[in-house]
Chains A and B, each alone.
Chain A
Amino acid sequence: MSKIEIKNVYKIFGEHPSKVLPMVQEGATKEEILEKTGHTVGLDNVSLNIEEGETFVCMGLSGSGKSTLIRHINRLIDPTSGDILVEGTNVMDLDKKNLIKFRRHKMSMVFQRFGLFPHKTVIENVGYGLEVQGKKLEEKNKIAMEKIEAVGLNGFEHQYPNQLSGGMQQRVGLARALATNTDIMLMDEAFSALDPLIRTEMQKQLITLQTELKKTIVFITHDLDESLRLGDHIGILNHGKLVQVGTPIDIIMKPADDYVAAFVKDVNRAKVIKAKIIMLTPEDFKKNGEKQSNIIKVNENDFLDEFLPQVCLTPATVEVVDNDGNIKGYITEKELSKALTKTNTNGAYKS
């Protein structure tokens, strides 16, 4: 059973969504619906499975319905039809009371424009999820302080959000989402409002946090680089339809249609592919009988461009290790060249 299952979800915005639904189900396009009925199709038959402990990135341009989709998972928006199952419970069946309980204990959310409470200090903001649960002040502040430390904001706990820079504000948002210690984290374009340097830094921080916490993260973004960096699986939305779901390498190497192909055309692969994605397992490596000469050690979460220059200068085999130094696999020049060569849009990638 997947952690989150989205089954045939339709969302139509307008006055009489249920009347328009059959038209959408029969396959009318978004433009036709808008012209004929004045309704907007937000999501068109979206089905997804998100596994426990993975980072699922949902990508699309603005208006593709990605923010709508993420709001269905905690029912900030109700679907017109379809089911959403979280840990096997159908979210649609929850009544008011249980929905509140569900939001309190099952998932937390990070927002694009941070969604911080301007009248609360950092520590009050971080503790908000616990506050609505009715936790005692001391306990709340203790947990909040831990999370503030985890995101590296010590010393700022009594500041107000608008006294902080954008990156720091989003860290508060992140700490707030961590504070309730829920299994699932929803991140709605969490880093889109930040400038590129801070964004990269935050992405790194999220990856580091994720290796420790192993949460199920649903991440929304319009930035392909970001989705390739963060995602274990990526779903690409176009006009409310899910056009492709796959691993980052699938998306780059085997784009499902022209839309995805146009997306991945100009991506700098070295910057977005992690070592662990293209590495051979030790067994495969031995089978191939490659010689282990001149070894470079890299972390499994490093991106190719971080060790590529070294490989270019001195031909070497790359040994991929995890945080504790255990060997996870190897990368030879063959894998590198395969990962970095542009294929035509038909997807001629063969492994």
Chain B
Amino acid sequence: MKKYKTYLKYFIYSVIFVSVIIISYRSAKPRYKPEHYTDIFKDFSWLNDWPKWLDFPLMQPLNSGFDWLIVKYGLFFEGINNFLLGLYTTMKNSIVDLPWPLVIAIVITITYFASGRKTQTTVLVAFCTFFLGFLSPRYWDKCIMTTCIVVIGMLLCIVIGIPVGIAMARNKKVRNALLPILDLMQTIPSFCYLIPGILLFGLGAVPAIIAIFVYAVPPLIRLTDLGIRLVDKEVIEASEAFGASKKQTLWGVQIPLALPNIMQGINQCTMMSLAMVVIASMIGTRGIGDEVLLGLQQLNVGMATEAGIAIVLLAIIFDRITQSYGEKMQERTQPKKKVNF
């Protein structure tokens, strides 16, 4: 019975394979094809070089599909565009308008409370923030733009990534369906989705945010999924044995215990977003990335390095804040062993 099913599966696969080849043959241009298809079996010269008729037509349907998408759902994408752009502009303008010492003060306050009043981390972050402007006054506003893009991208990742991760951990089917998609998102070159991003959202911040989302959300989803699945089985059983509903177990036990992993995911997410920002500068996103691009175009080593250092500083700031916040969470959920007897 089982063997029979496997054979059937193989049969279906081969049918699909053959039909794909037939499609490619039929859609090839006539000048690439032999005069009659029976010639293929008479003249075997096509076995030397890859024949031009053996070419699966993917580009054309993708292009027309994309055009259809723009025509049909243009308004929908316009809406997303307006929303994200509005958010970005308000956020950016309000921070740029603030005097720079105040911005540093805000960063210090956020770090201080997020890290659970750790002086060392706070001082480090304060210095890094100061050095952003200190490296070159031009960088200050550009760093703010980059930060706004990264923050919005991250928010998008968190809002979508964490629920998806939870769904994956709880349902094996969802996980099996999503894992290849995550693999695809992580391996496909970023330019492949930057181009449709430009076509859908125009140049600027919004395609960068979308690109950040595509690039940075997989690790968050994976770590959320892993974190929830790593929660001790006996603890879950204990929760169920006392009559907790699924929802109570999720919110009361699984999420709090998975929090260190989720925080790690958010941290990874931030780092990857920053990496994306430089690439996004190539599609005209303004920010610290275009300084690197400028240095590259002018073969100006000093300029590129200076901007590179600024990005590293920005990364340190993001990393320290999220990392120390994660540690604080971890202490709350998994307190260190104290010897008291």
Contact = CB atoms under 8 A, between A and B. Distances in A.
A128 B335 contact: no
Nearest to A96: B245
Interface stretch (A83-91, A99-107, A306-314, A332-340): A99-107
Which of B241, B253, B256 lies at the interface centre, i.e. has the most chain A CB atoms within 10 A of its CB?
A: B241
Nearest to B257: A119
Contacts of B234: 111-115
Nearest to A163: B338
B239 A128 contact: yes
A162 interface: yes
Contacts of B337: 162-163
A74 B256 contact: no
B256 to A, nearest CB: 5
Contact of A118 (B245, B334, B338): B334
B243 A117 contact: no
Interface string B241-273: 111110010001100110000000000000000
Given A117-B253, A162-B335, A111 B238 contact: yes
Interface string B321-339: 0000000000011110110
A160 B337 CA distance: 9
B256 A128 contact: no
B94 interface: no
Nearest to A111: B234
A100 B235 contact: no
B241 A74 contact: yes
A117 B125 CA distance: 35
A249 B206 CA distance: 79
A316 B263 CA distance: 70
B55 interface: no
B240 interface: yes
Interface residues of A, number: 33
Which of A102, A112, A115, A176 lies at the interface centre, i.e. has the most chain B CB atoms within 10 A of its CB?
A: A115
B340 A132 contact: no
Nearest to B335: A160
Contacts of B67: none
A133 B334 contact: no
Chain A interface, DSSP helix/strand/loop, else mixed: mixed
A103 B237 CA distance: 12
Nearest to A131: B252
A234 interface: no
A129 B243 CA distance: 7
A101 B243 contact: yes
A165 B334 CA distance: 16
Contact of A132 (B244, B333, B335): B244
A186 B335 CA distance: 29
A44 to B, nearest CB: 23
B243 A118 contact: no
Contacts of A117: 235, 238-239, 252-253, 257
A74 B244 CA distance: 13
A108 B242 contact: yes
Nearest to A160: B335
A115 B238 contact: yes
A103 B246 CA distance: 13
B310 to A, nearest CB: 39
Contacts of B243: 100-105, 129, 132-133
A100 B257 contact: no
B235 A103 contact: no
A109 interface: yes
Contact of B333 (A107, A112, A119): A119
A129 B245 CA distance: 12
A26 to B, nearest CB: 20
Which of B232, B238, B338, B341 lies at the interface centre, i.e. has the most chain A CB atoms within 10 A of its CB?
A: B238
A101 B245 CA distance: 10
Interface in A53-74: 71, 74
A104 B335 contact: no
Contact of A115 (B237, B244, B256, B338): B237
Interface string A316-351: 000000000000000000000000000000000000
Nearest to B329: A119
A118 B333 contact: yes
A76 interface: yes
Contacts of A128: 238-239, 242, 244
A116 B238 contact: yes
Contacts of B237: 71, 76, 109, 111, 115
B288 to A, nearest CB: 39
A176 B241 CA distance: 11
* A-B pairs with lowest CB-CB distance, top 6: A104-B243, A115-B238, A103-B243, A119-B333, A109-B241, A129-B242
7 contacts: A76-B240, A100-B244, A103-B242, A108-B241, A109-B242, A114-B234, A119-B333
Interface of A: 71, 74, 76, 100-105, 107-109, 111-119, 128-129, 131-133, 160, 162-163, 165, 176, 180, 186
Given A76-B241, A117-B235, A117-B253, 15 more contacts: A76-B240, A100-B245, A102-B243, A109-B237, A114-B234, A115-B235, A116-B238, A117-B238, A119-B257, A119-B334, A132-B244, A160-B335, A162-B337, A176-B242, A180-B242
